[in-house]
Structures are given as C-alpha cells and as structure tokens.
Chains A and B, each alone.
Chain A
Amino acid sequence: DAKTTQPPSMDCAEGRAANLPCNHSTISGNEYVYWYRQIHSQGPQYIIHGLKNNETNEMASLIITEDRKSSTLILPHATLRDTAVYYCIVRVPPTDKLIFGTGTRLQVFP
C-alpha cells in the first residue's frame, strides 16, 4: 500500500508558485521521498527526491519537515505545461520499489 496521502486536485495561476503537500507519517528513517509527475498519456517524469534536507533543482524545490512526516513540492513559477498529476512516493530500500499513491492533479490556469 502507498505510504503517502495527497489532495486529489489543486489549481494554480500561471506564474505563481504551486505548493503541493504530501503526508507520509509512517515513513522510516532510511526511506526517501520522491516526486514524479505524469503529463497525460506519458510515462512518469522524475522531479526531485530527498531524505532529510531540503532539496532544489532546476525543476522544483522539496521541503521536508523536521520530523519527516510531511513534505511540500514547490514549483516556483508554474506554467501551463506544468499541468499534470503529481505523485509523492516513499521509496523503500533495498528493493528500490516505487509504490505510487493516488497523486494530486494540478491544473495551471492562465
């Protein structure tokens, strides 16, 4: 079973920051938090991952709470092309399996 819960949908205005929350209250100390997105009819695309510290790359920032029970994916300047389903996933070592939850459908509007 998925170890994450996310809101089913969110809206965001183009150019604004999109903040997507995720709860993973049962996460273990060696389990990573991963974010992927899936644009309609395509394979999921990796966005970012982290263990304890906040992370930033060219696509997004990942903020993980100190107790690691929740995290937030931040798209700093959302564009229409960011409209997709965003999945927050806890990756379980050593199998490296990704167990997908239901995700958040982000709609970016003009």
Chain B
Amino acid sequence: SAVISQKPSRDICQRGTSLTIQCQVDSQVTMMFWYRQQPGQSLTLIATANQGSEATYESGFVIDKFPISRPNLTFSTLTVSNMSPEDSSIYLCSVEGRTGGDEQFFGPGTRLTVL
C-alpha cells in the first residue's frame, strides 16, 4: 500500500485568495489524481496529474482555477485560485497502486472553508 499525506489538513481562507495543497507519497507513482468533495456530496474528479506532462482536467474544471504541479514521482500540488465560498470542500489526492487493475489509495484530505 501507499502512505499519502496532505498539507494542510484544513484551512479557513478569505474570498479572493489562493491556497496550495500539497500531496506527498511514500513511494514513486506514475499517476496521481485530485478530487473534490463538496459538503454532503460524493467525490468528483478534478484532474489527473502525471509527472512530466500537463495535468488532464475533467469537464467543468480548468487550469486557471485549479493549477496543478507534478515535479516528481512522489509529490504534487493543487492550487485553488481566487477562492469563493463555493470552493469550500474537502480536496483529496489519490495515487495508483500497482499496475494492472489494483486499488488506488487516498490521502486524508484537506478541508477548506472559504469565508
């Protein structure tokens, strides 16, 4: 299994500011994913982050709002830009397990509140 940590675990931010969330994995992985979970809702995939290439965003998510970095095989960041109260959510990263159909592992999440 993979051990994933996220920083910060929670934050309260003002409208119009930006927050960068870090995801650190204890082993090298090719694929990392970023999800959003709005209050009382299921998880929604934001983007797939592969090392050495641009992130691939899902419909409804754009790079200007959610820029992603993937500088190496154990680390990624997601920035939530120009925040509004609607961005209040839990943001989670996940990583692939072994190749060939195995499980993905999720981080503990970052709980963001925008005032």
Contacts and interface: CB of A to CB of B under 8 A. Distances in A.
A51 B101 CA distance: 9
Contact of B104 (A41, A96, A102, A103): A96
A45 B42 CA distance: 14
Interface residues of B, number: 23
Main secondary structure of the interface of B (DSSP, over half): strand
Interface of B: 4, 31, 33, 35, 42-45, 48, 90, 92, 94, 96, 101-109, 111
A97 B31 CA distance: 10
Given A42-B108, A42-B109, A34 B103 contact: yes
Nearest to B44: A100
A49 B107 CA distance: 19
Main secondary structure of the interface of A (DSSP, over half): loop
